[in-house]
Structure 1
Amino acid sequence: MRVLCLLTLCCLASVASGAELRDLRLWESPEGTRVVFELDRVPGHKVFTLDNPARIVIDLPATRGLQTAHAAQGKGDVRSVRAAEREDGSLRVVLDMARNVEPRVFLLDPAEQYGHRLVLDMPIPEGAQAVPEAAVHAGPPVVAEAWQPRPIVVAIDAGHGGEDPGAIGKSGLQEKNVALDLAQRLARLVNAEPGFRAVLTRDGDYYLGLRERVTRARKAQADLFVSVHANALKNRSMRGSAVYVVSPRGASSEHARWLARRENAADLVGGIALENKDDELAAVLIDLSQSSTMEASFDVGGRMLQALGKVNQLQRTQVQQAAFVVLKAPDIPSVLVETAFITNPTEEKLLRDPAGKQRLAQSMFLGIKGYFESYRPRESGRTVAGAAPRLQKVRTE
């Protein structure tokens, strides 16, 4: 038996009255399985593992919610969930596992509709059989046109997911589901175009870290990164589509981050090793990559915004800038699309309507296609080498 975590955080009044398990949720992702216990107060808890067969045991002192625990279904490495009330008033939940896994246990504070949460993350063991990454599920490679020896790769990122629902409309429509639907529709349009291939950062309802989304795009050697979202405000009259690229502040912070990690940045600047370069030269090389990428991001963002304006009202007629983490890849043109306001009754209907979502996806694709009709990746490689731009202008005369 290996005791992993023991916290006694409930005050005497809380223990006396008892806590309530409001929900027990399981999420499966390519990285592993997440189990979330949602309670009405900070949970005291004890978590330990058992072998032969593999199990994870969670004891919740002075907690009621047996039926809630019983209703949970196994996912990923969690084959089944069992629960029982103990004589001391605690609730014991047992996760029957497919294999021995050491869970990472942590607490999350209340956020919006969620209460206090006890989270168990169970990563797939190193070297074990893993669920295929979402990026390879978006469709088979498409044979490129004669002038392009390989397809143009568009990484499509569905915002939020899993325990993070994003914004929620008045009818209960969740941004994470809308974003995934739109991303999948856009991926199908991209894959149907000769010479293009789409990759999805996530293809299911699970949470993915922001930097992991960018990492997946870079592993797929993406030529463009598109993050799909739905906007929200308390003012339900606010409406309109918007497109964002990284802000100068966001770009500056990422510039510093890559400079600090120069030993890992060779692929960013066309294979040039930076660890033996002085700060000034390394900074110039990274800046060349960023400048070309930001210019391209504005270009594709403007085209997408123009196309979106034919489907929906625009919140802003110009491409906006913000320090979104998912837009900070220095070597991949990146845009974040706020397709519509999920909190606006009219636009929520648009986001719920299959035909409306298809029109939004089509407008995003038109912007992407128009961009690559004018610019295409260099045939010699994906990254910027020295002062050479990542993309080259296509002659139109």
Structure 2
Amino acid sequence: MIRNLVLAFVKLTLFCGLLLQVQPTLAQGNGAASNRIESIRVWPSPDKTRVVFDLKSEPQYSYFTLYQSDPLRLVIDINDTQLGTSLEGLADDSLLVDLIRTSSPKNENSTRLVIELAEKTDPVVFPLAANESYPHRLVVDLPGKSIERSGPAKSISELAKRKVTVAIDAGHGGEDPGSVGPTGSYEKNVVLKIARALASMINEDPGMQAYLIRSGDYYVDLDERPQKAWQAKADFFVSIHADAFRTPQPRGGSVWVLSKRRADSEVGRWLEGTERKSVLLGGAESIIEDTGHEPFLAQTLLDMSMESSIASAYSAAREIIAEMSTVTKMHKREPQAASFAVLKSPDKPSLLVETGFISNPYEERQLNSNAHQQKLARALYNGIRRYFVNNPLDNTYLATVPNSDYIVKPGDSLSVIAQRYDTTVAAIKHENDLRSSVVQVGQKLKIPR
């Protein structure tokens, strides 16, 4: 009997030892901590990695770097906090972050997290308050190359000269899913697919090239998006979104340009509110303060060029609406105006395209269809290209394109086509040797510039 008691005691001792070994990975502290790390998310992008710690309550933290030793480390201490999630596999997708682990805490109720880095970086660490979508967060931004740009995306160094450069901004991304459809579709995923399809079409054009603001599933701050387009020396900026509303009935696409005032329509005010929510989710709350943090809003630049930029955007918007209306229902057939941060660049035409209402069940299915995504991308490409053929930039390939070809669609007439291309019925008839104003569906016409 004594032997059995000894064996039982040994087994219990071994079991307790195993528990002590596992405990630091699952939870630090003795359970008396008032705060808790519920989950950790890592979002690598081409120029930084964002690490987000979701917490039960507001974090009290400090941090320091260890760059004189190997490996390079960022150490974060969160007071009165227990770790309640696994760290396994968090660094798998980032080129900058090698490992996220724990280390001996300052005291028994705190958590020490160590981020091992592939290279030195200047970390930016800040808390975010809880909102309707997320709990309290501690955000760590680590500047540095974190992923390779992929697919149709080009780096700035790869952009060629003497081509029209189009900056394509897929809305939302990363921890900001954008609008969510009735079956759970994320706007961020739909618009990235459309943006990548558009980029492929533009890059196949000998006179154009595309720069993707967001090439993967990560968030780019709203004020950084037009800045990235400026760094790429883009001639045109288009931000792609999927609309949503509080009720499922609204449907159809629309094209938006900048207004210096608040939007007049109910949908426009709803979209402006959605953009401000996107800023909160992404972690750049300072932009919400109406103090002019956008990099291109210097008053002198606005006075000189903003009006010209908005006028050009209206012209391009009409071209895109004409094309989109052939592949999808339009919620609005005229360009709409609202105060969106991503459109506030005075040096180029800037548009925001709503490809449809993801909150509408029918359009949610359409927006998830690859065939429909390709049609929408083709419509955007055709509209942008026609704008630059009709408004050519000096010393670019498109400035030398003689005439455009057009295939007559149902509902077309020579007067409608002439208005769309800013020409006259007489000019079209002369260019095509037409004796009659009657045209047939499928007929190919040469459109004079």
State TM-score, norm by structure 2.
0.67
Contact 2:169 2:239 in 1 (8 A): yes
CA RMSD of aligned residues (A): 3.2
Q: Note the 1:157-196 alignment, pairs <5 A.
A: 157-196=169-208
1:57-136 → structure 2 map (5 Å cutoff): 57-74=75-92, 75-83=94-102, 88-124=108-144, 136=154
Aligned to 2:321: 305
Cα distance, 1:261 vs. partner? 6.6
Q: Does residue 230 in structure 1 map to residue 242 in structure 2?
A: yes
- Report the counterpart of residue 362 of structure 2 in structure 1: 346
1:28 equivalenced with 2:44 (yes/no): yes
Task: Give, in angstroms, the shift of residue 37 of structure 1.
Answer: 0.3
Alignment partner of 1:199 is 2:215? no
Paired residue total = 336
How far did 1:208 drift? 1.7
Runs of 5+ in structure 2 lacking a partner?
A: 1-30, 263-290, 397-421, 424-446
Offset at residue 257 of structure 1 (A): 8.3
> 2:232 maps to what in 1?
220
Segment of structure 1 superposing worse, 193-202 or 238-247: 193-202
Q: Distance in 1 between matches of 2:390 and 2:74?
A: 55
Does residue 39 of the first structure (1) align with residue 55 of the second (2)?
Answer: yes
3-state SS of 2:101 partner:
strand
Deviation at 1:130, TM superposition (A): 8.3
Q: Sort the Cα spacing of 1:342 and 1:29 in 2 relative to 1 into closer, same or farther, 3 A.
A: same
Give deviations 1:36-70, integer Å, cap 9, x for gaps: 10112212223232341211222333434443333
Distance in 1 between residues matched to 2:368 and 2:38, nearest whole Å = 28
Distance 2:56 2:248 in 1: 29
CA contact 1:139–1:198 (8 Å) conserved in 2: no
**C-alpha distance after superposition, 1:257-284 (max 9, x if no partner):** 868575xx6xxxxxxxxxxxxxxxxx8x
Partner SS for 2:75: strand
Q: Secondary structure at the match of 1:210?
A: coil
| Percent of aligned pairs sharing the same letter | 38
In 1, Cα distance between equivalents of 2:247 and 2:165: 38
Cα offset, 1:78, TM superposition? 1.2
Cα separation, partners in 2 of 1:247 and 1:33, compared to 1, 3 Å:
same
- Structure 1, residues 5-29: CA drift from partner, whole Å, max 9, x if none? xxxxxxxxxx957333222111222
Asked whether the 8 Å contact 2:241–2:354 carries over to 1, the reply is yes
Deviation string for 1:61-119 (max 9, x for gaps)?
A: 34344433335234232101113686723333221111333421111122332111101
Which of 13, 18, 33 is matched with 2:34 structurally?
A: 18
- For the pair shown, the structure with the greater C-alpha radius of gyration is 2
Q: Distance in 2 between matches of 1:150 and 1:209?
A: 29
Letter in structure 2 aligned against 1:362:
R
**Distance change (3 Å), C-alpha of 1:214 and 1:132:** farther
Distance 1:200 1:249 in 2: 28
Q: Note if 1:356 corresponds to 2:408.
A: no
CA contact 1:229–1:338 (8 Å) conserved in 2: yes
TM-score with structure 1 setting the length: 0.75
Deviations 1:189-218 (A, max 9, x none): 111122111111121222222232212222
The amino acid of 2:364's aligned partner reads: E
Partner of 2:392: 376
Question: Alpha carbons of 1:138 and 1:158: their partners in 2 closer, same or farther (altered >3 Å)?
Answer: farther
Secondary structure of the corresponding residue to residue 114 of structure 1 = coil
Aligned residue for 1:199, secondary structure, equals strand
Mark the runs of 5 or more structure 1 residues left unpaired by the alignment: 1-14, 143-148, 266-282, 381-392
